Amino acid sequence: MNWVPVSNSRQPLPPAGPFPTPGPAAGRRAPWRSVKLGWLVAAGFVLAGLPLFLRMPLWIDLTLYDLAARAVLTGGTHYRDVFDTNPPGFVWALCLVRAVLGPSMEAVRAVDLVVVTVVTALLLRWARAAGATAGGAAWAAAGTAGFYLFLSEFNHCQRDVWMMLPAVAAVVYRLRRVKRSRERSVTDGWVFRTALLEGIVWGLAAWIKPHIIVAAAAAWLATQARLAGSTRAGIRARVRRSATDLAGSFAGGLLVGGAGLAWLVGSDTWPHLYHVFTEWNTSYLSLILGEFPDRREVQLAYFPPWSLFFLAAVPLALLNLFDAHLGSAGASEPAGPRSGVGRFPGWLYHQPADDGQRFARGVLATVYLAWAGTALVLQKQYHYVHVPETLLMLALFAANRWAIAFPVLCLQAGVLIWLASTGSAAPRWEDQPLAFRYVVWQYPDGHPDRFRYWPACFAAREVSGDVRNGVAFQTDSHAGVNWSELEEVAGFLRSQGVAAGDTRVMCWHDSPHALYLTMNLRPPIRFMHLSTAVGMGPAAYEQVKAEVTAAAPRVRFVVSDLKRVALFFPPEVRERMSEPGPGLLPRLIPRRCREVFPMNQPAVFRSGNGRGRYVVHVLTNPVGDVDVPGWPGLDPE
């Protein structure tokens, strides 16, 4: 099935990309041009990384959505029972996954892998239509495998990547529609019906994250001249065709939006969603704009060294736009230089074989720029936001015959070999010079010993918390989970009579709420990420405090996380938080911190033989101040 035009031209093409190939013989010998080697490397990364990937733990974002999905599947109400500040599309998807595949971590990770695999297949097909060679596509696949499978759990099973599946599918379908409209005579009715289907797919993506509207608009604008130019009946007919296409797309989006809205109203979810978006999310835009200088500063350091190539991808995409002439009707043109682009040497810029390749490459460049711009300007400073941008960048480079994946994967392999040969872990990423941060990939080099858990990934259906920690990357983060210590907490609570369905345990801070899932408990409050909820303003703080105070008479135990308590402590203090103290709490915690809930409740258990991060409190005193601790400027007493 040819979704987008692929050139059948057999004429020799000039070598291109960052690795010059002076002749056919040298080109065949170049490893970055080898189809077999590229797919072999991709298979090697999958073989090495897939078992570890499937056994990695879930990040706290996914555990929150999991709790929301469980509430919906058991007759609860989203937003009312589990607080969430995002549209419900991702939770709906999780409801489907959990209803079909069950509650295991491996189930949702397997679906995440399927999503990324399908997205990669669509991007590679798109790149091939835009001029990528078979070898370039193979190495792009290897780059994707080496990139995604070895990312921190922070980046897996996130909304942005799942949203990418309907978004990329919609663009590929749009390219197919444009191709068909130019190859044969089609009616405006056909244009409307196919646009309706495309709008439905875009609508599914928008329910996951409305930011996708920017990429949708960019794709529509980039292809509109070609679609309208498929009719030869004059300017009025072209305007009518454009209007028909736009109307169909809007109708499809409104159809999906209306169906989702009907469910929200029928399930009594709408009032709670409306309350969240009008009372809690009102500061989102100002927050995003205020963070822009910080996001701009770290744009090149999210995924070293992949993110560094942002500096090359943006001008390359702009060059593709200049070359494509997307604003023209796109009459067939012979291969070769055009619009001055031919002034670039062949090893730097590969000329498309025909107008079809130019068009496909121009649309790919448009979507990449729209997505990267949205991630930089309109989204929060989170790594996972930039995962789709990186996957699109790999496809863009492949379409332009830039073998970027090859040197990056060689660097990654070299770092791992170096660490293994020295027998020591890499120095802490944040303590290194700027060049190290931007060039050395921070995730695999930080945990070279993950592979010793590789055999354990096959040992049993469910693995221990020690294995989860061993294959994870960020268990020491306040937003990460130490699964072995959380198992200790679960064991203590069970010894105190806590059983499935219990509502007497309140999980505080950010990471302990995973206990609700592992022990099948019912949360006594709807807030999982307390840092997010309390930090959304004075009115939000009062709502959290009122709900906690109202739930207190029904709660017996509160689980806190000392990693979150010490988040803003000086480094030398954070490193000593494992020291025991009177009443199980570390002696270094200031008096002011001890006066804030739940530190103001008696501690009865601490994980890690009294030196770990999780503390179980008995709720006996008044709730008092519920501000999430981490007070800058407070000196330990």
- Which whole number is the average pLDDT over 204-219? 97
Q: Give every CB contact of residue 50 below 8 A, 6+ residues apart in sequence.
A: 113, 149
Separation of alpha carbons 530 and 140, rounded Å: 40
**The pLDDT of residue 406 is above 60:** yes
Residue 344 has pLDDT above 70, yes or no: yes
State the Cα–Cα distance between residues 354 and 357, nearest whole angstrom. 6
Tokens 């809690």 correspond to what residue?
A: 280
| DSSP H or E run through 435 | helix 434-439
**Which amino acid is located at 186 in the chain?**
V
Is residue 57 a contact partner of residue 463, using CB atoms and an 8 Å limit? no
Where does the pLDDT of residue 631 fall: very low under 50, low under 70, confident under 90, or very high at 90 and above? very low
Distance from C-alpha of 223 to C-alpha of 456, rounded to nearest angstrom: 50
* Residue entry with tokens 């959290």: 544
pLDDT digits (tens, 9 = 90+) for 123-136: 999 999 999 999 99
> How far apart, in Å, do the first and last CA atoms of the chain sit?
70
Q: Which amino acid is at 364?
A: L
- Residue 404 reports pLDDT greater than 80: yes
User: Is residue 332 pLDDT above 70, yes or no?
Assistant: no
Compute the average pLDDT of residues 332-346: 57
Q: What pLDDT is stored for residue 330 in this prediction? A: 67
Tell me: pLDDT of 2 over 80.
no
Q: What is the mean pLDDT of the chain?
A: 87
- Backbone φ, ψ for residue 14 (5° rounding): -70, 145
The answer, yes or no, to whether residue 598 has pLDDT greater than 70, is yes
**Cα(320)–Cα(22) distance, integer angstroms:** 24
pLDDT at 353 over 70: yes
* 566: Cβ contacts below 8 Å, ≥ 6 apart: 573, 574, 577, 589, 630
CA angle, residues 581, 586, 588, in degrees to nearest 5 = 110
Q: Which residue from 327, 319, 315 is spatially nearest to 361, judged by alpha carbons?
A: 319
Give the model confidence (pLDDT) of 289-299 as tens digits.
Answer: 888 888 888 89
Please report the sign of the dihedral spanned by the C-alpha atoms of residue 634, residue 283, residue 559, residue 109.
negative
DSSP string over 222-237: HHHHHHHTT--S-HHH
Q: Do the Cβ atoms of 9 and 339 come closer than 8 Å?
A: no
What average pLDDT does the segment 527-551 reach?
Answer: 89
> Phi/psi of residue 418, each to 5°?
-60, -45
Residue with tokens 């008092």: 624
Of 100-104, 237-241, 514-518, 630-634, least confident by mean pLDDT is 630-634
Helix (H) or strand (E) run with residue 146 in it = helix 134-148
- On the question of pLDDT at 616 being above 50, the answer is yes
- At 350, is the pLDDT very low, low, confident or very high (cuts 50, 70, 90)? confident
pLDDT at position 424 over 70:
no
pLDDT at 449: 77
Would you state the pLDDT for residue 342? Answer: 62
pLDDT at 537: 81
Which pair of structure tokens corresponds to residue 319? 């060059």
Q: Which two tokens stand for residue 570?
A: 């000086």
How big is the CA angle at 498 (ends 492 and 504), to the nearest 5 degrees? 115
Mean pLDDT within 270-278:
95
Lowest-confidence range among 176-180, 331-335, 615-619?
331-335
365 near 317, Cβ under 8 Å? Answer: yes
Say which range, 15-29, 113-127, 160-174, has the weakest mean pLDDT.
Answer: 15-29
Inter-residue contact 350 to 19 (CB < 8 Å): no
